[in-house]
Amino acid sequence: MDNNLNNNNNNINFDPMTGQPINNVNFDPMTGLPVNNGNIQQPTGIVNQQEPVVQNTPVQQMNGVVQESVVPKKNNTIFIVIAVLVVVAIVVGILLLGGKKDKANVNNTEINNNQTNNNESNNTENNIETNVGNSSDLVEKEYTGDKQNLYVATVGHVDHGKTTLTSALTKLYGKYVSSDVISSSPEVKKEGVVYNASFLEYESNSNHYSHYDMPSNADIIKSLLSGSVRLDGAILVVSATDGPMAQTREHLRVLKNVGVSKIVVYMSKCDMIDDQDLLNLVEMEIRDLINEYGFDGDNTPVVRGSALKALEGDKNEVENIRKLVNMMDKWLIKNNDNSGKAVASTKLGVEVYVLTKEEGGRHTPFFAGYRPVVSNGSEKESASITLPEGVEMVMPGDYIDMTVTLDKAMTFKKGDYFKFMEGGIITAVGVVNSIIE
């Protein structure tokens, strides 16, 4: 470049962006870009400099870098015009690209809102390919392959490692989704309730798993009690550092109520406990608890591990995830809804979730003596409720066991879903856990 400057040659042209001289350069009349022997030369730094150049730099740069005496006046004007054209082209290009991006985002949102429509599976499938890490990946879809498909969920106390385990399962058996992305669960509106859930898929040699991971206790409970999420089995995650906690119990109870007959247990965070005796003790406590809730505590698989280490590639811990999936393959079964024959009944043991006003439910609590209409989709009947001892009032957002006495018999069996209605609105959703009369 220095040589060119010094030889004071009439053939010298100048790069419109940098003001640096270019030897033997012509300009493409269509693009305004400099052409050398048929090859288009990108002016140096054209992309990076686009923003600052817009206002005033072409002239300033040329005057600043290049001496007046070297620049033929006619050329100078041409360069300015070309530089302005190039800048305008870049700005227009950026604007067009920006517009396309916005459109893409709108499409994703539409798909997110379409979660109840399983016919969209082709669309969402394509999105998985193109939008890795986007929350539209997390939307429920129907499995159409040949393997047995089991609906499962990670359940368990807050912070016990449900999402980390879910991520490890996708990493080893599906399309990897990070914990952060899984935690950004999209909102789902179904069966009258609103909850957040992430939907993931992975498969072993024998089974395909359609897996839900929910961000909070309330999301787990209301999606299950409303029948929006129907599980074949569950992975109960219990941190070895805490052992079973309050929500561990709640989830076992709800799983039982919605007719899940088999679960597997993943004892997480075992990397934080060195003491084998302590680990044995936690496992015993877990087995006792699942027995207490009516599952087979003696034979239920309990796998110890660290999903965090598995995600980091630790060989032993990867092996423990494989062990877990192996156990899921062997132990979990399709929930065939065979919880007895439907009978005409007037008194039911139920567990309900009471909708909030945001979900279109009541704005105020109800009390013992509340008289809703019970609807099971095909029949409706007035009823009264009896609250558990010591409970006076039920708030919107609560979930609670109670007894429902129907004015006239309706046909129900254990595990059936129903709604409480009041003046046309749904006030609660729930599931029958016992037929009393």
Ligand X SMILES: Nc1nc2c(ncn2[C@@H]2O[C@H](COP(=O)(O)OP(=O)(O)OP(=O)(O)O)[C@@H](O)[C@H]2O)c(=O)[nH]1
Contacting range for ligand X; rule: CB under 6 A; set: 305-313, 370-378, 386-394, 397-405: 305-313
Q: Residue 255 burial (CB < 10 Å; 0-12/13-18/19+)?
A: buried
Report the residue number, 272 or 281, with the smaller CB distance to ligand X: 272
Q: Where does residue 6 rank: exposed (0-12), middle (13-18), buried (19+ CB within 10 A)?
A: exposed
Residues 105-164 that bind Mg ion (CB under 5 A): 162-163
| Ramachandran area for residue 363 (φ above 0: left; ψ -120 to 50: alpha; else beta) | alpha
Between residues 153 and 355, which has the closer beta carbon with respect to Mg ion?
153
Contact window for ligand X (CB under 6 A) among 220-228, 263-271, 344-352, 421-429: 263-271
Beta bridge partners of 383: 406
Residues facing residue 429 across a β-bridge: 353, 419
Strand boundaries in 299-415, DSSP class E: 302-304, 343-354, 366-367, 373-375, 380-386, 393-394, 399-412
- Per CB under 6 A, 170 contacts ligand X: no
Q: According to the binding rule CB under 6 A, does residue 394 interact with ligand X? A: no
Of the candidates 409, 412, 349, 400, the residue with the CA atom closest to the CA atom of residue 382: 409
Site map 45..84 versus ligand X, x via CB under 6 A: ----------------------------------------
Q: Which SS3 state, helix, strand or coil, does residue 434 take?
A: strand
Q: Which of 61, 124, 268, 300 binds ligand X (CB under 6 A)?
A: 268
Quick one: 163 or 356, whose CB is closer to Mg ion? 163
Q: Which residues pair with 14 in a beta bridge?
A: 21
Q: Distance between CA 72 and CA 202 in Å, rounded?
A: 68
> Which 175-204 positions form the footprint of ligand X (CB under 6 A)?
179
Mapped onto helix, strand or coil, the DSSP state of residue 422 is: strand
**Cα–Cα distance for residue pair 231/61, rounded to 1 Å:** 67
- Rg of the chain on CA atoms, in Å: 32
Least distance from ligand X to the Cβ atom of residue 415, Å: 26
Cα–Cα–Cα angle for 238, 244, 247, rounded to 5 degrees:
90
Which is nearer to ligand X, 61 or 154 (by Cβ)?
Answer: 154
Residue 174 per-residue DSSP state: B
Minimum CB distance to Mg ion smaller for 196 or for 345? 196
Nearest CB to ligand X, comparing residues 50 and 217: 217
Which positions from 206 through 225 interact with ligand X, judged by CB under 6 A?
A: 215
> What SS3 state is found at 419?
strand
Output 307 or 387, the one with its CB closest to ligand X: 307
Whether 354 contacts 396, CB under 8 Å: yes
Of all residues in the shown chain, the one whose CB is closest to Mg ion is 163
At 289, which helix (H) or strand (E)? helix 276-292
Nearer to ligand X, 87 or 214 (CB): 214
Size, binding site for Mg ion by CB under 5 A:
2
Is 163 one of the binding residues for ligand X (CB under 6 A)?
Answer: yes
Rounded to a whole number of angstroms, the minimum distance from the CB of residue 156 to Mg ion is 9
Asked whether position 302 contacts ligand X by CB under 6 A, the answer is no
Contact call for residue 269 and ligand X (CB under 6 A):
yes
Judged by CB under 6 A, does residue 306 bind ligand X? yes
What is the smallest separation between the CB atom of 303 and ligand X, expressed in angstroms?
Answer: 12
What's the token pair of residue 159?
């912070």
Residue (180 or 285) nearer to Mg ion, CB = 180
Which position among 308, 350, 352, 428 is part of the footprint of ligand X (CB under 6 A)? 308
Q: Which is nearer to Mg ion, 211 or 287 (CB)?
A: 211
Site for Mg ion in 161-200 (CB under 5 A): 162-163
The site that binds ligand X (CB under 6 A) totals a number of residues, namely: 16
Question: Mapped to the 3 state alphabet, what secondary structure does 212-275 carry?
Answer: EECCCHHHHHHHHHCCCCCCCEEEEEEECCCCCCHHHHHHHHHHHHCCCCEEEEEEECHHHCCC
Question: CB under 6 A: which stretch of 130-138, 157-165, 353-361, 370-378 binds ligand X?
Answer: 157-165
Among 21, 161, 259, 415, binds ligand X (CB under 6 A): 161
Site for ligand X, rule CB under 6 A: 158-164, 179, 215, 268-269, 271-272, 306-308
Residues in contact with Mg ion by CB under 5 A are 162-163
